[in-house]
Chains A and B, each alone.
Chain A
Amino acid sequence: MRLALLAGLLGVLLFSRARQDVIGQQAEPLRWIEAGAGGTLPAEMYFHNADGKLGVLLTGGPIEMKGHAFFEPQGINPRGCVTCHQPSNAMSVSVEAIRERWRVTNGEDPIFAAVDGSNNPKLPQALASSHSLLLNRGLFRVGLPWPPADKTVKPEFIIEIVRDPTGVNLDDTYGLKGVNPTISVFRRPRLSANLKYVLSPDDVFNIKTGTLMAVDPETGKPASMNMMADARHLTLRQQANGAYRDHQEGRQGLLRREALEQIVAFEQQVYLAQSHDRWGGSLVETNGPSGLGPRALADGKIHVLANNNRDPVFRLFDAWKTPATMAKELTDAQREFRASVARGNDVFMFRQFWIRDAAHINSIGLGNPIKRTCATCHNTQMTGQDLAPGWVDVGTVNYPTWTEPPVFSDNAELPVFKLTCDKGAAPHPYLGRVIYTNDPGRALITGKCADIGSIVMGQFRGLAARAPYFSNGSAKNLRELVDFYDRRFDMKLTEQEKVDLVNFLSVL
């Protein structure tokens, strides 16, 4: 009886909080920005999410969206860049927001454009089931030519389609046997923010390949290769033109010069991070952790290798380790939360485990396995990407470490490709020469067997605003993300460590 009462009370409290959040969100006029709607984007914005608030900063000042190429349709469909890169969603787009758009527009929102916002352009577009990958996992279709468009690439493997739940890969127009043979994979949109870190090049040599780094055609200098999931575009201009062609169905080949420059200039001034906790308290405190909030991102130094205890990846959380050093006005719940975040940072930085069978981590001279930490790979200060080109097969898209249903399952959502590598090619270091995957990743660009399933790691910022996670949206929330790593690397995390890690990730 007492338990039932308690549960009821808890339910009321939860309902009240959920309702409050919804009301708060509805009150945010920029919660969803429609392409072409006009208006002003302020220089500083805050958006509610389940873990508090996200802060977005435009270092160049407010932006008039009317006539601005980032916010206006450029192609033949009514999408703009903003359609899939919403400030409230950490310049990406969450499943929660996508579902809301389906509800509000009855599926008419341009985000559901047949070209890539549906499972297959030939399916009946009025049905939600035709957009299930977008509605359930936040995934857009990315059609890539196979063999690669770069004719100097000699593929080391053949691709067979083993499972095609969307029908698009076996389609006679859009598929592998079409006039323009194409492999369709399904991926999450990445953040168009904090880009000075993402675009910061490493060295002349690419430590992953032992060859020269790809060169930025605009500057002649090494490119970071950390922007796209498969590193196929090296610069913001290349990416913008690619998005114009593939996502906005642009028919002019390239964006107009002025539009291109406007998009790039805007993207280079956007910084974001979680800014407030779920009680409304600012995460940016005097004498508190200095790596939190969007201003820290705007002011931070680029290309800092931070897998150390002197100047860690998201800087020091010492002030949150004990109540005595926390801000005086905090409630007990806030203090408890901050202590958990500080412990989570320690788990991220210092909790060792065996990192094993991760291609392009273990295989680049570190040894297999290595006893290191999360920060070994997620080593770039402020973003948690890899300072070197960050494509890694961490196991999210390849069998057997993926979290997808069995290949023969009728409930599967994603395609499965069987890749068979040439006998003479260097095999995938841990999967050999026959690999089942739902996204070959970097290998669709390089044609290399060793790259199958390698995906460029993404930023860790604004996570609370943009679930789900991983390139294939396979982690619905931060807990699922932590659980994946716990299983994948047999980390043996305690329940407390998991909670601490989730809290830590939620404030980034």
Chain B
Amino acid sequence: MRKALLVLLVSGSALFSGGTTAQRNATPPAHRRNFVACPIVRDTKTLPCWLAEYEGELYFLGLQGSSASEFYPPQLNHEVLVEGTVTNEPRICGGIPLKPLRISVLPELNRACNTLLPAENGLEAPAAVARRFSEDLRKPGTDISQREFIIPFDFDSDYLTFHTTRIVGEAARIAKAINAAKIEVRGYRATTWLSNGKQFIETETIADQRANKVGEILVGLGLPAAAVTVISQNEPEPYDGVTDTDKRRVTVRLFTP
């Protein structure tokens, strides 16, 4: 099926040449906390909390949820990339909340990441958001006006979550409804500007992997392979330490005849 898709590789070097020199000489945004660390899980009387430490400070990442939750917790035995904005909100489970926040589990094993703390009085988890049942989330939409879809990904990952598969499903539904003549799937690779000033660049092939996966799913959902164009933008876009998470993505654009 992959061969059936039209794969067009766009050379990123010409598009982004010279775009990063100024950034290398600048300082990462002070209100952001972009770092790689071992996650910490703290038990509570209710749901476990997830935390991570950076430069002696503890940050709250989120609560244990379900596969239908927006927040997918980290993994012990793996480091986590944390990308968030510091808030003035009260501490949760002892950690400073970061909002907005994206975390990415790094794929390689690190057995040093193994901290599980017991529940303690005074370190309570907030009430969990009422659980949304996956059946409700699986219902397709009815609107057909959308023409562009953005599918976000974790760092160095082409895994589609419960929520991001819904976006691809919606794109396919609308493409069929409007009888789209062309479906353009564009995969991107990104760099994260860490708070320590270093760049954290995704694997070279990740844009291909993301774009091909989404393209194959669209064809699998019944769109004609000849109408699906897959483009991989393998050169990372400029980074700024704030919107880097948005750049790890695949876009799907629908064109009518």
Q: A and B, one complex?
A: yes
Interface residues of A (CB under 8 A from B): 203-205, 207, 210-212, 305, 354, 356-357, 362-371, 426-427, 429-432
Within 8 A of A (CB), among B132-146: 133-134, 138
Produce 1/0 per residue, B170-208, CB < 8 A to A. 000000000000000000000000000000000000000
Produce 1/0 per residue, B53-66, CB < 8 A to A. 00000000000111
> Would you give the shortest CB distance from B229 to chain A, in whole angstroms?
20
> Would you give the shortest CB distance from A427 to chain B, in whole angstroms?
6
Q: Contact at B213–A211, with CB atoms within 8 Å?
A: yes
With contacts A369-B41, A371-B43, A427-B107 taken as known, whether A211 is within 8 angstroms of B160 at the C-beta atoms is yes
Please, how many angstroms separate the alpha-carbon atoms of A205 and B137 in the complex?
Answer: 13
Q: Contact at A371–B48, with CB atoms within 8 Å?
A: yes
> Would you give the shortest CB distance from B218 to chain A, in whole angstroms?
10
Q: Contact at A371–B47, with CB atoms within 8 Å?
A: yes
Q: Contact at A205–B160, with CB atoms within 8 Å?
A: yes
Given contacts A212-B217, A367-B72, A429-B78, 19 further A-B contacts (CB under 8 A): A203-B138, A205-B162, A207-B67, A207-B162, A210-B164, A210-B213, A305-B134, A354-B116, A362-B75, A365-B67, A366-B67, A367-B48, A368-B77, A371-B64, A426-B107, A427-B107, A427-B108, A429-B107, A430-B109
Produce 1/0 per residue, B24-56, CB < 8 A to A. 000000000000000001010001101000000
Q: Contact at A367–B116, with CB atoms within 8 Å?
A: no
Please, how many angstroms separate the alpha-carbon atoms of A368 and B220 in the complex?
Answer: 31
With contacts A203-B138, A205-B165, A205-B169 taken as known, whether A368 is within 8 angstroms of B75 at the C-beta atoms is yes
> Would you give the shortest CB distance from B159 to chain A, in whole angstroms?
5
Does residue B211 face the partner (Cβ distance < 8 Å to A)? no
B-side contacts of A362, CB under 8 Å: 75
* 7 nearest A-B residue pairs (beta carbon): A367-B73, A210-B160, A368-B75, A365-B72, A205-B165, A212-B220, A210-B159
With contacts A211-B213, A365-B161, A371-B47 taken as known, whether A429 is within 8 angstroms of B169 at the C-beta atoms is no
Does residue B228 face the partner (Cβ distance < 8 Å to A)? no
Please, how many angstroms separate the alpha-carbon atoms of A204 and B161 in the complex?
Answer: 13
> Would you give the shortest CB distance from A448 to chain B, in whole angstroms?
13
Q: Contact at B221–A204, with CB atoms within 8 Å?
A: yes
Most interface-central of A356, A367, A370 (chain B CB within 10 A): A367
B-side contacts of A211, CB under 8 Å: 160, 213, 216-217
> Would you give the shortest CB distance from A363 to chain B, in whole angstroms?
7
